[in-house]
Amino acid sequence: MKDYYSYISTKAAWDCTETIFLCAPAAYAESPEKAAEYAELSGWKNTAEQHAAVLIVPVTENGYRDMDVSWIPDFYDVHKNDFRAPGGVSIPGRDGVLWLWETMIYLAGYEEGADYAANVLTAHPGFFAASLLHNGKITDYSHADEEAAHWFVRKPHDYACTNREIPSAVWLSGTVDPETRKYFETCAHTDTEAQVTYGGICTEVHCCSGNPAQQIRISADMPSSDTVMDTFFGHTLRWKNSPDGQLRNYLGKNDYASSERFVHYCAQANGNDYPYTVYLPAGMTKDEAKGLPVVFSIHGRGEPSWVFAEKNGWQVLADETKEFITVFPDSPYNIWLIDRDRDSLKEIAAQVVKNYKADLERIYLSGFSNGAVFTSQQASTFPECFAAASPWNGPAMSMRIDRYIYADTFAESGYEMPFWIIVGDSDSKASADREDELDIILPANHCERSSEEVWNGENHYTEQAGYMEGNRFHTRVFRNTEGSVRAGLTVMKNMPHGAVWDESRAAWAFMKRFRRPAGSKTVEEITEE
Protein backbone atom coordinates (compact mmCIF):
# COMPACT_ATOMS: atom_id res chain seq x y z
CA MET A 1 0.00 0.00 0.00
CA LYS A 2 1.19 3.52 -0.79
CA ASP A 3 2.42 5.09 2.46
CA TYR A 4 1.28 8.63 1.73
CA TYR A 5 -1.35 10.77 0.08
CA SER A 6 -0.31 13.87 -1.84
CA TYR A 7 -1.96 16.81 -3.52
CA ILE A 8 -0.21 19.12 -5.97
CA SER A 9 -1.67 22.57 -6.50
CA THR A 10 -2.75 23.27 -10.05
CA LYS A 11 -0.95 26.61 -9.62
CA ALA A 12 2.45 25.02 -8.93
CA ALA A 13 4.86 25.86 -11.73
CA TRP A 14 8.19 27.68 -11.92
CA ASP A 15 8.08 29.49 -8.58
CA CYS A 16 9.81 27.78 -5.65
CA THR A 17 7.29 25.33 -4.19
CA GLU A 18 6.25 25.19 -0.54
CA THR A 19 5.91 21.71 0.96
CA ILE A 20 3.40 21.02 3.72
CA PHE A 21 3.54 17.75 5.66
CA LEU A 22 0.19 17.08 7.33
CA CYS A 23 0.09 14.50 10.15
CA ALA A 24 -3.60 13.62 10.48
CA PRO A 25 -5.33 12.13 13.54
CA ALA A 26 -4.75 8.37 13.71
CA ALA A 27 -8.22 7.52 12.40
CA TYR A 28 -7.48 9.46 9.21
CA ALA A 29 -3.94 8.13 8.73
CA GLU A 30 -4.89 4.49 8.11
CA SER A 31 -5.15 4.69 4.33
CA PRO A 32 -4.56 7.08 1.44
CA GLU A 33 -8.32 7.42 1.07
CA LYS A 34 -8.81 8.49 4.69
CA ALA A 35 -5.78 10.79 4.44
CA ALA A 36 -7.32 12.42 1.36
CA GLU A 37 -10.55 12.88 3.29
CA TYR A 38 -8.74 14.65 6.12
CA ALA A 39 -6.85 16.85 3.69
CA GLU A 40 -10.26 18.14 2.63
CA LEU A 41 -11.80 18.35 6.13
CA SER A 42 -8.84 20.19 7.64
CA GLY A 43 -8.76 22.75 4.85
CA TRP A 44 -5.13 22.03 4.00
CA LYS A 45 -5.90 20.76 0.50
CA ASN A 46 -7.57 24.04 -0.41
CA THR A 47 -4.83 26.03 1.32
CA ALA A 48 -2.17 24.13 -0.64
CA GLU A 49 -4.10 24.80 -3.85
CA GLN A 50 -4.31 28.55 -3.21
CA HIS A 51 -0.62 28.82 -2.28
CA ALA A 52 0.75 26.74 -5.18
CA ALA A 53 2.06 24.21 -2.65
CA VAL A 54 2.50 20.45 -2.41
CA LEU A 55 0.63 18.72 0.43
CA ILE A 56 1.86 15.35 1.74
CA VAL A 57 -0.04 13.26 4.30
CA PRO A 58 1.81 10.24 5.75
CA VAL A 59 -0.19 6.98 5.94
CA THR A 60 0.34 4.46 8.72
CA GLU A 61 -1.94 1.44 9.07
CA ASN A 62 -0.93 0.63 12.65
CA GLY A 63 -0.69 4.09 14.13
CA TYR A 64 2.16 6.53 14.55
CA ARG A 65 3.92 4.33 17.09
CA ASP A 66 5.25 2.33 14.14
CA MET A 67 6.53 5.38 12.25
CA ASP A 68 10.14 6.39 12.66
CA VAL A 69 10.75 10.05 13.48
CA SER A 70 12.97 10.24 10.39
CA TRP A 71 10.17 9.28 8.00
CA ILE A 72 9.54 12.84 6.81
CA PRO A 73 13.15 13.91 6.07
CA ASP A 74 13.82 10.47 4.55
CA PHE A 75 10.71 10.82 2.38
CA TYR A 76 11.87 14.24 1.21
CA ASP A 77 15.33 12.95 0.29
CA VAL A 78 13.85 10.12 -1.77
CA HIS A 79 10.84 11.82 -3.36
CA LYS A 80 11.73 15.52 -3.64
CA ASN A 81 12.01 15.24 -7.43
CA ASP A 82 8.91 13.07 -7.94
CA PHE A 83 6.30 15.84 -8.02
CA ARG A 84 5.47 17.33 -11.39
CA ALA A 85 3.74 20.58 -12.28
CA PRO A 86 0.14 19.82 -13.28
CA GLY A 87 0.48 22.22 -16.20
CA GLY A 88 3.72 20.58 -17.29
CA VAL A 89 5.72 23.81 -16.99
CA SER A 90 8.35 24.28 -14.29
CA ILE A 91 11.69 26.04 -14.03
CA PRO A 92 13.50 25.60 -17.37
CA GLY A 93 15.87 22.67 -17.16
CA ARG A 94 13.70 20.65 -14.76
CA ASP A 95 11.40 19.22 -17.45
CA GLY A 96 8.20 19.83 -15.53
CA VAL A 97 9.51 18.65 -12.15
CA LEU A 98 8.68 20.99 -9.28
CA TRP A 99 11.37 22.30 -6.95
CA LEU A 100 10.29 21.57 -3.39
CA TRP A 101 12.21 24.46 -1.87
CA GLU A 102 14.50 23.38 0.97
CA THR A 103 13.85 26.55 2.94
CA MET A 104 10.05 26.25 2.75
CA ILE A 105 9.12 22.94 4.39
CA TYR A 106 6.27 23.09 6.92
CA LEU A 107 4.69 20.65 9.38
CA ALA A 108 1.13 20.50 10.70
CA GLY A 109 -0.11 17.86 13.14
CA TYR A 110 -3.46 17.16 14.79
CA GLU A 111 -4.29 14.95 17.78
CA GLU A 112 -2.17 11.74 17.59
CA GLY A 113 -0.58 13.17 14.47
CA ALA A 114 0.42 16.22 16.50
CA ASP A 115 2.18 14.00 19.07
CA TYR A 116 4.10 12.34 16.26
CA ALA A 117 4.87 15.71 14.64
CA ALA A 118 6.14 17.06 17.97
CA ASN A 119 8.56 14.14 18.25
CA VAL A 120 9.66 14.62 14.65
CA LEU A 121 10.28 18.29 15.34
CA THR A 122 12.33 17.39 18.41
CA ALA A 123 14.50 15.00 16.38
CA HIS A 124 14.76 17.14 13.20
CA PRO A 125 14.20 20.79 14.15
CA GLY A 126 16.41 22.19 11.39
CA PHE A 127 14.36 20.52 8.68
CA PHE A 128 11.27 22.69 9.07
CA ALA A 129 10.65 26.40 8.69
CA ALA A 130 7.52 26.43 10.88
CA SER A 131 5.06 23.99 12.47
CA LEU A 132 1.53 23.76 13.89
CA LEU A 133 0.72 21.28 16.67
CA HIS A 134 -2.95 21.02 17.71
CA ASN A 135 -3.59 19.03 20.90
CA GLY A 136 -0.12 17.59 20.63
CA LYS A 137 2.85 17.16 22.91
CA ILE A 138 6.34 15.77 22.89
CA THR A 139 6.26 12.17 24.14
CA ASP A 140 9.86 11.31 23.30
CA TYR A 141 12.70 13.63 24.32
CA SER A 142 15.39 11.03 23.61
CA HIS A 143 16.61 12.83 20.47
CA ALA A 144 16.82 16.29 22.05
CA ASP A 145 20.44 15.95 23.13
CA GLU A 146 21.65 14.13 20.05
CA GLU A 147 23.89 15.98 17.63
CA ALA A 148 21.79 17.67 14.97
CA ALA A 149 21.64 16.21 11.48
CA HIS A 150 23.17 19.38 9.98
CA TRP A 151 21.28 18.57 6.82
CA PHE A 152 22.44 21.68 4.96
CA VAL A 153 26.12 20.86 5.66
CA ARG A 154 26.54 17.20 6.51
CA LYS A 155 30.14 17.49 7.70
CA PRO A 156 30.73 20.98 9.10
CA HIS A 157 34.12 22.23 10.28
CA ASP A 158 34.61 22.89 13.99
CA TYR A 159 30.85 23.09 14.45
CA ALA A 160 28.41 20.95 16.39
CA CYS A 161 25.14 21.48 18.19
CA THR A 162 22.37 19.34 19.58
CA ASN A 163 18.79 19.29 18.42
CA ARG A 164 17.62 21.27 21.44
CA GLU A 165 19.99 24.09 20.45
CA ILE A 166 18.23 24.64 17.11
CA PRO A 167 15.36 27.16 17.37
CA SER A 168 11.96 26.30 15.91
CA ALA A 169 8.91 28.35 14.99
CA VAL A 170 5.87 26.54 16.43
CA TRP A 171 2.17 27.28 16.87
CA LEU A 172 0.75 25.27 19.79
CA SER A 173 -3.06 25.24 19.82
CA GLY A 174 -5.78 23.49 21.79
CA THR A 175 -4.66 21.78 24.98
CA VAL A 176 -1.03 22.85 25.40
CA ASP A 177 1.30 20.62 27.37
CA PRO A 178 3.42 22.80 29.75
CA GLU A 179 6.61 20.77 29.24
CA THR A 180 6.25 20.87 25.46
CA ARG A 181 5.71 24.60 25.57
CA LYS A 182 8.71 25.12 27.85
CA TYR A 183 10.93 23.02 25.59
CA PHE A 184 10.14 24.94 22.41
CA GLU A 185 10.30 28.34 24.11
CA THR A 186 13.71 27.48 25.53
CA CYS A 187 14.97 26.31 22.14
CA ALA A 188 13.73 29.53 20.52
CA HIS A 189 15.26 31.76 23.26
CA THR A 190 12.00 33.67 23.58
CA ASP A 191 12.19 36.78 25.75
CA THR A 192 9.25 38.93 24.60
CA GLU A 193 5.49 38.36 24.77
CA ALA A 194 2.53 39.94 22.99
CA GLN A 195 -1.18 39.28 22.51
CA VAL A 196 -2.12 39.16 18.84
CA THR A 197 -5.35 38.18 17.10
CA TYR A 198 -4.95 36.02 13.99
CA GLY A 199 -8.05 35.06 12.05
CA GLY A 200 -10.20 35.96 15.03
CA ILE A 201 -8.15 33.81 17.42
CA CYS A 202 -6.49 35.43 20.44
CA THR A 203 -2.90 34.23 20.48
CA GLU A 204 0.08 34.62 22.78
CA VAL A 205 3.18 35.29 20.72
CA HIS A 206 6.53 34.63 22.37
CA CYS A 207 9.52 35.81 20.32
CA CYS A 208 13.26 36.10 20.53
CA SER A 209 14.08 39.81 20.46
CA GLY A 210 17.26 39.06 18.51
CA ASN A 211 15.35 37.19 15.81
CA PRO A 212 11.53 37.46 15.84
CA ALA A 213 11.27 34.47 13.48
CA GLN A 214 12.17 32.33 16.49
CA GLN A 215 8.59 32.41 17.60
CA ILE A 216 6.20 30.28 19.65
CA ARG A 217 2.47 30.93 19.37
CA ILE A 218 -0.05 29.72 21.95
CA SER A 219 -3.83 29.64 21.38
CA ALA A 220 -6.69 27.75 22.97
CA ASP A 221 -8.62 27.70 19.71
CA MET A 222 -7.47 25.87 16.61
CA PRO A 223 -6.51 28.25 13.80
CA SER A 224 -7.74 27.48 10.31
CA SER A 225 -5.27 26.22 7.74
CA ASP A 226 -5.61 29.50 5.84
CA THR A 227 -4.81 31.50 8.99
CA VAL A 228 -1.75 29.37 9.68
CA MET A 229 -0.53 29.72 6.11
CA ASP A 230 -1.33 33.41 5.69
CA THR A 231 0.06 34.62 9.02
CA PHE A 232 2.75 32.09 9.94
CA PHE A 233 4.00 29.53 7.42
CA GLY A 234 3.86 31.99 4.53
CA HIS A 235 6.08 34.46 6.37
CA THR A 236 8.71 32.11 7.83
CA LEU A 237 11.71 30.56 6.10
CA ARG A 238 14.76 28.59 7.19
CA TRP A 239 17.58 30.03 5.14
CA LYS A 240 20.46 27.80 4.04
CA ASN A 241 23.14 29.95 5.64
CA SER A 242 24.64 27.47 8.12
CA PRO A 243 24.72 23.71 8.73
CA ASP A 244 21.30 23.92 10.41
CA GLY A 245 19.95 27.02 8.69
CA GLN A 246 18.46 30.07 10.34
CA LEU A 247 14.85 31.08 10.78
CA ARG A 248 13.87 34.33 9.09
CA ASN A 249 10.65 36.25 8.70
CA TYR A 250 9.87 37.58 5.25
CA LEU A 251 6.97 39.42 3.64
CA GLY A 252 5.67 36.56 1.51
CA LYS A 253 4.37 36.80 -2.03
CA ASN A 254 1.19 38.81 -1.47
CA ASP A 255 2.60 41.30 1.05
CA TYR A 256 5.69 41.79 -1.09
CA ALA A 257 3.50 42.65 -4.07
CA SER A 258 1.55 45.23 -2.05
CA SER A 259 4.48 46.57 -0.01
CA GLU A 260 5.11 50.29 -0.02
CA ARG A 261 8.79 49.70 0.73
CA PHE A 262 9.38 47.55 -2.34
CA VAL A 263 8.12 49.65 -5.25
CA HIS A 264 7.28 47.64 -8.35
CA TYR A 265 8.07 48.44 -11.99
CA CYS A 266 8.47 46.57 -15.25
CA ALA A 267 10.94 46.97 -18.10
CA GLN A 268 10.89 45.45 -21.56
CA ALA A 269 13.88 44.13 -23.48
CA ASN A 270 14.03 41.95 -26.60
CA GLY A 271 10.31 41.25 -26.41
CA ASN A 272 10.34 40.07 -22.77
CA ASP A 273 8.97 41.64 -19.60
CA TYR A 274 11.31 42.13 -16.64
CA PRO A 275 9.49 43.07 -13.45
CA TYR A 276 11.74 44.69 -10.87
CA THR A 277 11.43 46.33 -7.48
CA VAL A 278 13.20 49.36 -6.08
CA TYR A 279 14.04 49.70 -2.41
CA LEU A 280 14.97 53.10 -0.95
CA PRO A 281 16.71 53.41 2.42
CA ALA A 282 14.26 53.72 5.30
CA GLY A 283 12.98 57.24 5.79
CA MET A 284 14.21 58.55 2.45
CA THR A 285 11.96 60.02 -0.23
CA LYS A 286 12.72 59.89 -3.95
CA ASP A 287 13.98 63.46 -3.78
CA GLU A 288 16.24 62.67 -0.84
CA ALA A 289 17.62 59.61 -2.67
CA LYS A 290 18.72 61.64 -5.70
CA GLY A 291 22.34 61.01 -6.61
CA LEU A 292 22.64 57.73 -4.73
CA PRO A 293 24.37 54.79 -6.42
CA VAL A 294 22.45 51.64 -7.37
CA VAL A 295 23.06 48.05 -6.28
CA PHE A 296 21.44 45.30 -8.34
CA SER A 297 20.73 42.18 -6.27
CA ILE A 298 20.02 39.38 -8.76
CA HIS A 299 18.15 36.24 -7.76
CA GLY A 300 19.21 32.66 -8.43
CA ARG A 301 17.45 29.96 -10.43
CA GLY A 302 13.97 29.31 -9.12
CA GLU A 303 14.07 32.03 -6.48
CA PRO A 304 11.98 35.06 -7.53
CA SER A 305 12.46 38.42 -5.90
CA TRP A 306 9.46 37.98 -3.57
CA VAL A 307 11.56 35.31 -1.84
CA PHE A 308 15.03 36.62 -2.63
CA ALA A 309 14.74 40.34 -1.84
CA GLU A 310 15.05 39.89 1.93
CA LYS A 311 17.52 37.02 1.81
CA ASN A 312 20.96 38.60 1.65
CA GLY A 313 20.45 41.67 3.80
CA TRP A 314 20.90 44.37 1.17
CA GLN A 315 17.72 46.12 2.29
CA VAL A 316 18.91 46.05 5.93
CA LEU A 317 22.28 47.51 4.95
CA ALA A 318 20.60 50.18 2.84
CA ASP A 319 18.48 51.21 5.84
CA GLU A 320 21.56 51.32 8.05
CA THR A 321 23.93 53.21 5.76
CA LYS A 322 21.53 55.32 3.65
CA GLU A 323 24.17 54.96 0.95
CA PHE A 324 22.47 53.23 -2.00
CA ILE A 325 19.28 52.29 -3.81
CA THR A 326 18.67 48.56 -4.19
CA VAL A 327 17.09 47.01 -7.28
CA PHE A 328 15.75 43.44 -7.38
CA PRO A 329 15.07 42.29 -10.97
CA ASP A 330 13.02 39.24 -11.94
CA SER A 331 13.73 36.98 -14.90
CA PRO A 332 11.22 35.10 -17.07
CA TYR A 333 10.48 31.69 -15.53
CA ASN A 334 12.92 32.36 -12.67
CA ILE A 335 16.13 31.71 -14.57
CA TRP A 336 18.67 34.08 -16.12
CA LEU A 337 19.82 33.25 -19.67
CA ILE A 338 22.52 35.39 -21.24
CA ASP A 339 21.22 35.23 -24.82
CA ARG A 340 17.61 35.98 -23.89
CA ASP A 341 18.24 38.44 -21.05
CA ARG A 342 21.45 40.16 -22.12
CA ASP A 343 19.90 43.64 -22.47
CA SER A 344 17.55 43.49 -19.47
CA LEU A 345 19.74 45.09 -16.80
CA LYS A 346 20.79 47.93 -19.07
CA GLU A 347 17.13 48.80 -19.65
CA ILE A 348 16.27 48.54 -15.95
CA ALA A 349 19.29 50.65 -15.00
CA ALA A 350 18.28 53.34 -17.50
CA GLN A 351 14.79 53.49 -15.99
CA VAL A 352 16.09 53.69 -12.42
CA VAL A 353 18.57 56.43 -13.30
CA LYS A 354 15.78 58.40 -15.00
CA ASN A 355 13.10 57.86 -12.33
CA TYR A 356 15.30 58.26 -9.26
CA LYS A 357 18.07 60.52 -10.60
CA ALA A 358 20.57 57.87 -9.50
CA ASP A 359 24.31 58.13 -10.07
CA LEU A 360 24.96 56.69 -13.54
CA GLU A 361 28.67 56.28 -12.77
CA ARG A 362 28.04 54.11 -9.72
CA ILE A 363 25.91 51.13 -10.71
CA TYR A 364 26.96 47.86 -9.10
CA LEU A 365 26.03 44.24 -9.66
CA SER A 366 25.61 41.47 -7.12
CA GLY A 367 23.94 38.13 -7.70
CA PHE A 368 23.48 34.73 -6.13
CA SER A 369 23.90 31.31 -7.82
CA ASN A 370 22.42 31.59 -11.33
CA GLY A 371 22.28 35.32 -10.52
CA ALA A 372 26.04 35.19 -9.85
CA VAL A 373 26.61 33.71 -13.29
CA PHE A 374 24.47 36.46 -14.79
CA THR A 375 26.33 39.08 -12.74
CA SER A 376 29.67 37.96 -14.17
CA GLN A 377 28.25 37.69 -17.68
CA GLN A 378 26.73 41.17 -17.57
CA ALA A 379 29.78 42.79 -15.97
CA SER A 380 32.11 41.29 -18.58
CA THR A 381 29.76 41.79 -21.53
CA PHE A 382 28.84 45.41 -20.74
CA PRO A 383 31.68 46.63 -18.49
CA GLU A 384 31.04 50.20 -19.58
CA CYS A 385 27.73 50.12 -17.66
CA PHE A 386 28.97 49.05 -14.24
CA ALA A 387 31.54 50.17 -11.68
CA ALA A 388 32.11 46.86 -9.82
CA ALA A 389 30.57 43.42 -9.37
CA SER A 390 30.17 40.82 -6.64
CA PRO A 391 29.01 37.35 -7.74
CA TRP A 392 28.08 34.94 -4.92
CA ASN A 393 27.96 31.14 -5.08
CA GLY A 394 28.17 30.90 -8.84
CA PRO A 395 27.71 27.23 -9.82
CA ALA A 396 30.69 25.38 -11.20
CA MET A 397 30.33 24.74 -14.92
CA SER A 398 31.56 21.85 -17.02
CA MET A 399 32.34 24.30 -19.82
CA ARG A 400 35.31 26.64 -19.78
CA ILE A 401 34.61 29.42 -17.34
CA ASP A 402 35.91 32.11 -19.69
CA ARG A 403 33.45 30.94 -22.34
CA TYR A 404 30.37 30.64 -20.14
CA ILE A 405 30.53 32.73 -16.99
CA TYR A 406 32.63 35.53 -18.52
CA ALA A 407 32.24 37.00 -21.99
CA ASP A 408 34.97 35.74 -24.29
CA THR A 409 35.66 39.34 -25.34
CA PHE A 410 36.39 40.55 -21.80
CA ALA A 411 40.02 39.54 -21.48
CA GLU A 412 41.03 41.55 -24.55
CA SER A 413 38.63 44.44 -24.04
CA GLY A 414 40.94 46.55 -21.91
CA TYR A 415 38.18 47.25 -19.36
CA GLU A 416 38.83 47.22 -15.65
CA MET A 417 36.11 45.64 -13.54
CA PRO A 418 36.69 45.22 -9.82
CA PHE A 419 35.31 41.85 -8.70
CA TRP A 420 34.50 40.53 -5.22
CA ILE A 421 33.70 36.81 -5.46
CA ILE A 422 32.04 34.98 -2.56
CA VAL A 423 31.45 31.24 -2.20
CA GLY A 424 30.84 28.72 0.57
CA ASP A 425 33.33 26.07 1.60
CA SER A 426 30.54 23.45 1.79
CA ASP A 427 28.50 24.48 -1.22
CA SER A 428 27.42 21.39 -3.15
CA LYS A 429 26.59 23.51 -6.20
CA ALA A 430 29.51 25.92 -6.34
CA SER A 431 33.12 24.95 -5.88
CA ALA A 432 35.28 27.01 -3.53
CA ASP A 433 38.14 26.64 -6.03
CA ARG A 434 37.85 29.73 -8.22
CA GLU A 435 41.40 29.89 -9.56
CA ASP A 436 40.13 29.95 -13.14
CA GLU A 437 38.11 33.06 -12.34
CA LEU A 438 41.11 34.72 -10.73
CA ASP A 439 43.04 34.03 -13.93
CA ILE A 440 40.49 36.24 -15.70
CA ILE A 441 39.78 39.05 -13.26
CA LEU A 442 43.29 39.66 -11.92
CA PRO A 443 44.88 40.63 -15.26
CA ALA A 444 41.84 42.76 -16.14
CA ASN A 445 42.41 44.73 -12.93
CA HIS A 446 46.20 44.85 -13.22
CA CYS A 447 46.62 42.72 -10.10
CA GLU A 448 49.48 40.37 -9.42
CA ARG A 449 49.07 37.17 -7.43
CA SER A 450 52.11 38.19 -5.45
CA SER A 451 50.04 41.03 -3.95
CA GLU A 452 47.75 38.56 -2.17
CA GLU A 453 46.74 39.29 1.41
CA VAL A 454 44.42 37.33 3.68
CA TRP A 455 41.62 39.05 5.61
CA ASN A 456 39.72 37.20 8.31
CA GLY A 457 37.68 37.79 11.43
CA GLU A 458 40.70 38.80 13.47
CA ASN A 459 42.17 41.44 11.23
CA HIS A 460 39.25 42.77 9.24
CA TYR A 461 35.73 41.37 9.81
CA THR A 462 35.43 42.37 13.43
CA GLU A 463 32.45 43.22 15.60
CA GLN A 464 33.76 46.77 15.78
CA ALA A 465 33.46 46.90 11.99
CA GLY A 466 29.85 45.71 12.20
CA TYR A 467 30.29 42.02 11.39
CA MET A 468 28.26 39.50 13.36
CA GLU A 469 29.79 36.37 11.80
CA GLY A 470 33.23 37.60 10.88
CA ASN A 471 34.86 34.40 12.08
CA ARG A 472 33.40 32.65 9.03
CA PHE A 473 35.27 34.85 6.53
CA HIS A 474 38.49 33.89 4.78
CA THR A 475 39.25 36.43 2.05
CA ARG A 476 42.13 36.64 -0.36
CA VAL A 477 42.51 40.19 -1.65
CA PHE A 478 44.66 41.35 -4.53
CA ARG A 479 46.08 44.81 -5.19
CA ASN A 480 46.90 46.49 -8.47
CA THR A 481 50.20 48.10 -9.31
CA GLU A 482 49.14 51.25 -7.44
CA GLY A 483 48.39 49.31 -4.24
CA SER A 484 44.59 49.46 -4.52
CA VAL A 485 42.52 46.37 -3.68
CA ARG A 486 40.76 45.56 -6.95
CA ALA A 487 39.76 41.90 -6.48
CA GLY A 488 38.77 39.59 -3.67
CA LEU A 489 37.78 35.96 -3.17
CA THR A 490 35.89 35.17 0.03
CA VAL A 491 35.33 31.59 1.14
CA MET A 492 32.73 31.34 3.90
CA LYS A 493 33.20 28.67 6.56
CA ASN A 494 30.45 26.06 6.97
CA MET A 495 28.41 27.69 4.23
CA PRO A 496 26.05 25.62 2.06
CA HIS A 497 24.45 27.09 -1.06
CA GLY A 498 23.43 30.17 0.87
CA ALA A 499 24.68 33.41 2.40
CA VAL A 500 24.74 35.53 5.54
CA TRP A 501 23.93 39.22 5.76
CA ASP A 502 27.54 40.06 6.61
CA GLU A 503 28.47 39.25 3.03
CA SER A 504 26.48 42.25 1.81
CA ARG A 505 28.45 44.46 4.18
CA ALA A 506 31.75 43.12 2.85
CA ALA A 507 30.71 43.37 -0.79
CA TRP A 508 29.42 46.92 -0.36
CA ALA A 509 32.57 48.05 1.46
CA PHE A 510 34.50 46.90 -1.61
CA MET A 511 32.23 48.04 -4.45
CA LYS A 512 31.37 51.50 -3.14
CA ARG A 513 35.01 52.57 -3.55
CA PHE A 514 34.66 52.70 -7.34
CA ARG A 515 33.00 54.79 -10.00
CA ARG A 516 33.18 54.52 -13.77
CA PRO A 517 33.30 57.87 -15.56
CA ALA A 518 31.27 57.91 -18.77
CA GLY A 519 33.19 56.37 -21.66
CA SER A 520 36.11 55.25 -19.48
CA LYS A 521 37.66 51.79 -19.59
CA THR A 522 39.16 52.38 -16.18
CA VAL A 523 37.45 52.93 -12.87
CA GLU A 524 38.24 55.71 -10.42
CA GLU A 525 38.68 55.06 -6.75
CA ILE A 526 36.60 57.17 -4.39
CA THR A 527 38.41 58.31 -1.30
CA GLU A 528 36.42 59.14 1.79
CA GLU A 529 37.00 62.59 3.20
DSSP-assigned letters across all residues of 455-521: EETTTTS-TTTT-SSGGGEEEEEEEBTTS-EEEEEEEETT--S---THHHHHHHHHHTTEE--TT-S
Each residue's pLDDT tens digit in the chain (529 positions)? 469 999 999 999 999 999 999 999 999 999 999 999 999 999 999 999 999 999 999 999 888 988 999 999 999 999 999 999 999 999 998 999 999 999 999 999 999 999 999 999 999 999 999 999 999 999 999 999 999 999 999 899 999 999 999 999 999 999 999 999 999 999 999 999 999 999 999 999 999 999 999 999 999 999 999 999 999 999 999 999 999 999 999 999 999 999 999 999 999 999 999 999 999 999 999 999 999 999 999 999 999 999 999 999 999 999 999 999 999 999 999 999 989 999 999 999 999 999 999 999 999 999 999 999 999 999 999 999 999 999 999 986 554 454 568 888 898 999 999 999 999 999 988 888 899 899 999 999 999 999 999 999 999 999 999 999 999 999 999 999 999 999 999 999 999 999 999 999 999 999 999 999 999 999 999 986 4
Specify whether the CB–CB gap between 170 and 217 falls below 8 A. Answer: yes
Name the CA radius of gyration of the chain, rounded. Answer: 24
> Closest Cα partner for 474 from 422, 435, 418, 419?
422
pLDDT at 402: 47
Rounded to an integer, what distance in angstroms lies between the CA atom of residue 488 and that of residue 391?
11
Residue 365 in contact with residue 379, Cβ under 8 Å? yes
Q: Which residues pair with 123 in a beta bridge?
A: none
Q: CA–CA separation, 11 vs 51, rounded Å?
A: 8
Parallel, antiparallel, or unpaired: how do β-strands 17-23 and 54-58 relate?
Answer: parallel
Question: How far apart (Å, rounded) are the C-alpha atoms in residues 408 and 455?
Answer: 31
Domains of the chain by range and CATH? 4-249 (3.40.50), 256-525 (3.40.50.1820)
At 438, which amino acid appears? L
pLDDT at position 405? 81
Which is nearest to 137 in space by CA: 89, 81, 87, 178? 178
Which residue, among 511, 523, 497, 145, has the nearest Cα to 326 in the 3D structure?
511
